[in-house]
Structure 1
Amino acid sequence: MPMQAQEIEALIRAAFPEAKVTITDLAGDGNHYAAEVIDESFRGQNRVQQQRAVYAALKEKMAGSEGELHALALTTKPPA
């Protein structure tokens, strides 16, 4: 079953409650999204560390072919 953008945002916010989160449905199918996550906790981390932290928050939903979320283009950064 496809995920809703609100579900993705809620999972990310659970791990990063102060983050600015923007979710975009790329294909209109509920399976391909882009997410931008801006959070102070990313300061001092490289991009791989930042993205791993976000993917950890979504881990169960992205679990291989059985996961509800099949593609996520992820952009992460600390606030300017």
Structure 2
Amino acid sequence: MSINPDLIREKLIEGIGAVHVDVEDTSPDRCAASFKVLVVSPQFEGKPLLQRHRMVNNCLAEELKEIHAFEQKTLTPEQWEKQKAQ
């Protein structure tokens, strides 16, 4: 399986209804070994951080078997709007 930012983005949009996803390949040589993501989903409303991260991890379970480092930030649409306004 070829893991790339587009694949991760599509899986998160389909799997957890993400309305915004930023995916950055943070591997030194862009070899898809490490990623940083920002995921905005209304499904995160009322859920603690750990539960949000588990939702992302479950959605990307197959891909995470191949990824060596994965950093994620999970926000609700309201949190995302507040962050953009700062």
TM-score bucket (shorter structure): 0.7 to 0.9
Three-state SS of the structure 2 residue aligned to 1:44 is coil
Tell me the residue number matched to 1:20: 20
Higher helix share: 2
Tell me the residue number matched to 1:38: 40
Residue 18 of structure 1: CA displacement? 4.3
Percent identity over the alignment?
22
Three-state SS of the structure 2 residue aligned to 1:54 is helix
Question: Partners of 2:68 and 2:2 in 1: how far apart?
Answer: 9
Amino acid at match of 1:42: F
Question: Partners of 1:69 and 1:13 in 2: how far apart?
Answer: 19
Specify the structure having the higher radius of gyration (Cα). Answer: 2
Tell me the residue number matched to 1:51: 53
Mapped contact 1:22–1:37 kept (Cα < 8 A): yes
Query: Deviation digits for residues 19-77 of structure 1, max 9, x if unmatched?
Result: 21110111222111100001111111010010100100011222xxxx22222101001
Q: RMSD across aligned C-alpha pairs, in angstroms? A: 1.5
Matched pairs, number: 76
Q: Which runs of no fewer than 5 residues in structure 2 stay unpaired?
A: 79-86
Q: Which runs of no fewer than 5 residues in structure 1 stay unpaired?
A: none
Deviating 4+ runs (over 4 angstroms):
none
